[in-house]
Structure 1
């Protein structure tokens, strides 16, 4: 079941990246442990990005989680990039999940010769049972996974789709230090769709850094629209935002229905 409480703030602000990551990991862990207690296993979709690194480190250290009962998925993957490259999202995540989680980690096969067949294969894995938790971040252009502004479909009937990446998203990979030049960043990827991400009972959105502040403000206070895919979280009752001070710096006021951000314990 989702980890929610009508009295719980939907936006939690930490004074530091570490504090923010700790609060997000605690929330994700509670949802994972709750799913295991409720039905014997948990199914979790993870983002692969530098903004998630501290949260994943905290989550991996939580000894309460029985990773042998967790099926893990990642939410996007480049095409035209070798799967063992450190920039490959599946490899990035495999390098950061605990060793005990790897037997249950299902990777998108970026080396598949037929992307349609890979879409069908991974979609079948994802829809085998409900997703319990989605751990995600937000791109500087408001994307979630690689659902780019304007082309994101909040009613997409599919669970995985091939997309062409926005130049802003490709440049973000360079700015994050993952590639030396935008020309090196693949322009095609497979991504879980917005409905696939939002199918989880609990969504844990961890965002850090001032470069994300405009997207955070738009996602939380602007209209719910594909021009800002992260705005879809406004309509998800199990979505919680975990922001450091920099990421929250443009939240002068908070949207109706969302309590003011609070410091993490």
Structure 2
């Protein structure tokens, strides 16, 4: 596991975006694992700039997102499908049918989990982008006595819902469940890029990277992966 610390988020975002561009230059039909939330917004902005400057193309790429809320349609403004369209997909040349997110509104959610894992097995992820939750979650894999390896339905912790409430009108509007790629699926990626920003994440960064490997801190399981690069700003990395 390698850790790189940046003095400002602009440098961090540009570095991360360049990693994705380099991946596509080396393998135009690469499979990219993508994340949502506030952490990757700047990265996606830099990727869009690179695309508009002709530095990268997504026409042969495939993407898989980590998760989606259960109960929110792709058209809902707080769905992750909508987020990805607004923050990235609408601005690049990725074919729409090459962009995959778990579907949180299908009648049979268990079947959707099985189907998502099937697609992942057929197109292994070359580089997986991750953020880090305050409780150590990656994707929506919340702390627990045991974790599921494959895509599954998860009950969101209150702390997670509170952290995401800023995107909704009020806490009651935040869904209580999500469909998420499992930790086992995440760890199958060829390379993993963990990006963490902000002073409030410093404690969990230290636990995840230097603490014991435990399902109570899901991100600590990244210590078992052979190819993880961690990008942090000064504040997030101040305890390392």
- Offset at 1:209? 1.1
* Structure 1 residues 13 and 69: alpha-carbon distance in aligned structure 2, compared to 1, 3 A threshold: same
- 1:145 aligns with 139
Deviation string 1:110-151 (CA, Å, 9 cap, x unpaired) is 221111121122222211122111011000111000000125
The separation in 1 between residues aligned to 2:145 and 2:58, in whole angstroms, is 35
Pairing 1:14–2:6 present: yes
- Offset at 1:102? 4.5
Deviation string 1:196-233 (CA, Å, 9 cap, x unpaired) is 11111111111111121111111111011111111112
- 1:99 aligns with 92
- Offset at 1:82? 2.6
Pairing 1:23–2:15 present: yes
2:66–2:101 contact (8 Å) kept in structure 1 = no
Pairing 1:118–2:118 present: no
How many equivalent residue pairs? 234
Q: Secondary structure at the match of 1:122?
A: helix
- 1:3 aligns with none
Deviation string 1:32-78 (CA, Å, 9 cap, x unpaired) is 33233xxxx11111011111100111123223332011101110111
The separation in 2 between residues aligned to 1:77 and 1:136, in whole angstroms, is 14
Q: Secondary structure at the match of 1:95?
A: helix
- 2:27 aligns with 35
In structure 1, runs of 5+ residues without a counterpart are 1-8, 252-265
The separation in 2 between residues aligned to 1:114 and 1:123, in whole angstroms, is 15
* Structure 1 residues 102 and 166: alpha-carbon distance in aligned structure 2, compared to 1, 3 A threshold: farther
The separation in 2 between residues aligned to 1:244 and 1:20, in whole angstroms, is 7
The separation in 1 between residues aligned to 2:64 and 2:93, in whole angstroms, is 15
The separation in 2 between residues aligned to 1:146 and 1:130, in whole angstroms, is 20
Pairing 1:235–2:224 present: yes
- 1:262 aligns with none
2:41 to 40, 43, 53: 53
The separation in 2 between residues aligned to 1:196 and 1:152, in whole angstroms, is 15
In structure 2, runs of 5+ residues without a counterpart are none
1:10–1:239 contact (8 Å) kept in structure 2 = yes
Q: Cα RMSD between the aligned structures?
A: 1.6
The separation in 1 between residues aligned to 2:230 and 2:238, in whole angstroms, is 14
Q: Which one scores higher on RCO, CA 8 angstroms, separation ≥ 6?
A: 1
